[in-house]
Structure 1
């Protein structure tokens, strides 16, 4: 098969959707190198992760940009519409939109089948977190993709339910295919690496950890508030890109006298993150809403207990032996964190969490995705 992908985020993004895009293509090329995987991106950007992936694929993966001078000048328009001619010219059999959208009018290209991955419909679930313009754009693109794709991949059962609820898509048009996480998290950092990372980032001796953009939806303020109910020697480390929301956290920290117990990190290289996870005592993820929750898998693979929020899909990521609380229950969150410190509970959560995380493998994701492609091309779905 020659499969095309919307490669914009694989090229330009270094977290989130970029990680997912690279993970999918890297996994497929590793387990099915006989196929050709063509990534289409509107503009070049230096990206060592992508370059390494392309090199390791030994020709299975290639990256393509607009070749016509006109489309180079109008790269964004090429991505949403002009790419149609490119796909026909390149004899692409199936095009996979990796991030909630497909090129407009792709349904008119009869020679090319299409699949789209829908990560979440948070812009509908938590509309107050988005501007009106963003909501309209995201909703238009996502609705179009769901309507016109030959098949939809949802990253969780929660997302599948949202697609059915908001867009009226038949359930049999949607397959749930879970993503795994980078195998680096399953590798235990040595004592020297842990010491180096703690020294470099000035990490405290004892800390709980949360990873993700510091924004309202991720709900880090609840963790900060819970720190008032936890032992003074236990600190909080928040890893993620800051937004204006961070000021709310800092204001509370000042009032509560917590400035010395909360630490912010961002721009951490992927090679250091596993050690930061593995030095933590508990991973805390009280996000109000998620499409899946990859940081939870990263924590489980790293061998630390997880406390997460109810209300979306996080139970799917964390399994039955992680702990879950209402995302706004400060005292409940603190109590759950304390419970993970109990030796017998701690040991059980680590053991069962590692078992659960083994369900989410690259091979499983690749196998299910390739089977989806095959069924679309043979019109079985």
Structure 2
């Protein structure tokens, strides 16, 4: 007779096998996937789409009260096993409360809140829930947020962490923050990193790169910065460093402008760098990988991040990367990227000059960076996520 633990293991394996051979019905908070063209929108669509490709036997229901018309959103919902679910009786409380009726009607087995929240009282239903926590920056650096926004984020995310069956943190640093701020047991939290869109993993043809360079009047040699132009992203530091960088290199900045842009402008004028900086906004997503691929260096000196997807995009694009210490960026950039203090523009300038003057260092950073970033490749991350779903279902039967 096998031991009890052997019987239990056999039952768990049988459960996972039978589950894999049957259709799962998985529900998602589709607010970001259906309406955002960057950031959390890309994360949500990429996650669901990769699951739909890698595990096509399942049904993926995306719940949202509204849908934005855009090419990448339209194509996402054209996938055969991704189903758009609009509210039957919509109200401003639908995503928080009334959605439970829709989930029950659709016989959803697992609901995944992709951005810090799940429906209230879902823990009192048969539906298992998972929540992704991207970061708790609003608690770590409250000065970057309005008081009412900060309190709302805290209320929703803390409730979700308490009531979800499982929490997915997108980095070890975010996991540490969840434990510290919310007192959650570490074994309830699983770290599953993010990947980036597969378009960043393909080298563009030279004709396409030439078309992109001409369209946006890109310089021959440039340092690239991508991200919202806000205080936390720390663009001012790059501007301060630029004055001490080889003049052949210009700075290309892609990102939405906020009030912090005025601070950056003043620094540019003060240092006389207007002709060395190009600001781009509303870049079509299809062209963005090409802009990465032609960059000489990617710089991301953010004071704090939950993970740092732009770093992953840069490494896949074969671009040497410099990032800041102090949060989780070392997790995203790996051991062969360079890290500097987010308050030390002299160190940043020195790091940039070191890279541009050393072809062998450039080669090593590109090769080792691409090798490291494979741990975030979509098939790897997608399998980890499906295993997480199955384990949550499994625990409900034992």
TM-score under structure 2 normalisation?
0.92
Shift of 1:48: 2.2
Q: Is the 8 A contact 1:11 1:44 kept in 2?
A: yes
Q: Is the 8 A contact 2:42 2:197 kept in 1?
A: no
Specify which of 146, 149, 167 is matched with residue 152 of structure 1: 167
Shift of 1:274: 1.0
Q: Is the 8 A contact 1:11 1:47 kept in 2?
A: no
The answer on 1:305 being equivalent to 2:320 is yes
- Deviations 1:177-224 (Å, cap 9, x if unpaired)? 011111211211222112111111111111100111111110000001
Question: CA–CA distance in 2 between the matches of 1:45 and 1:3?
Answer: 22
- Deviations 1:233-284 (Å, cap 9, x if unpaired)? 2110110111111111111111111001111111111111111011110000
Shift of 1:9: 0.5
Specify which of 250, 268, 286 is matched with residue 301 of structure 2: 286
Q: What residue is the counterpart of 2:19 in the other structure?
A: none
Q: What residue is the counterpart of 1:194 in the other structure?
A: 209
Q: Is the 8 A contact 1:291 1:313 kept in 2?
A: yes
* 1:93-104 equivalence runs, <5 A: 93-104=109-120
Question: CA–CA distance in 2 between the matches of 1:324 and 1:254?
Answer: 27
Q: What residue is the counterpart of 1:64 in the other structure?
A: 85
Q: What residue is the counterpart of 1:229 in the other structure?
A: 244
Deviates more, 1:158-167 or 1:353-362: 353-362
Question: CA–CA distance in 2 between the matches of 1:54 and 1:77?
Answer: 24
Question: CA–CA distance in 2 between the matches of 1:130 and 1:248?
Answer: 18
Question: CA–CA distance in 1 between the matches of 2:328 and 2:184?
Answer: 19
Shift of 1:364: 0.9
Question: CA–CA distance in 2 between the matches of 1:202 and 1:248?
Answer: 25
Deviates more, 1:21-30 or 1:38-47: 38-47
**Paired residue secondary structure (1:33):** coil
Q: Is the 8 A contact 1:3 1:92 kept in 2?
A: yes
**Paired residue secondary structure (2:375):** coil
Shift of 1:44: 2.5
TM-score under structure 1 normalisation?
0.96
Question: CA–CA distance in 2 between the matches of 1:157 and 1:372?
Answer: 16
The answer on 1:316 being equivalent to 2:337 is no
- Deviations 1:321-364 (Å, cap 9, x if unpaired)? 00000011000011111111111111100110110111111111
Q: What residue is the counterpart of 2:107 in the other structure?
A: 91
Deviates more, 1:39-48 or 1:15-24: 39-48
Q: Is the 8 A contact 1:209 1:283 kept in 2?
A: yes
How many residues align? The count is 373
Q: What residue is the counterpart of 1:40 in the other structure?
A: 63
The answer on 1:108 being equivalent to 2:124 is yes
Shift of 1:80: 1.0
Specify which of 216, 219, 241 is matched with residue 256 of structure 2: 241
Q: Is the 8 A contact 2:25 2:59 kept in 1?
A: yes
Question: CA–CA distance in 2 between the matches of 1:339 and 1:116?
Answer: 42
The answer on 1:121 being equivalent to 2:123 is no
Shift of 1:13: 0.5
**Paired residue secondary structure (1:12):** coil
The structure-2 alpha-carbon separation of the partners of 1:104 and 1:47, relative to structure 1 and needing over 3 Å to count, comes to: farther
Give unpaired runs (5+ residues) of structure 1: none
Deviates more, 1:181-190 or 1:3-12: 181-190
Question: CA–CA distance in 1 between the matches of 2:224 and 2:71?
Answer: 27
Q: What residue is the counterpart of 1:17 in the other structure?
A: 40
Give unpaired runs (5+ residues) of structure 2: 1-23
**Paired residue secondary structure (2:285):** coil
| Greater than 4 Å deviation, 4+ residue runs | none
Q: What residue is the counterpart of 2:277 in the other structure?
A: 262
Question: CA–CA distance in 1 between the matches of 2:70 and 2:114?
Answer: 18
Question: CA–CA distance in 1 between the matches of 2:145 and 2:201?
Answer: 35
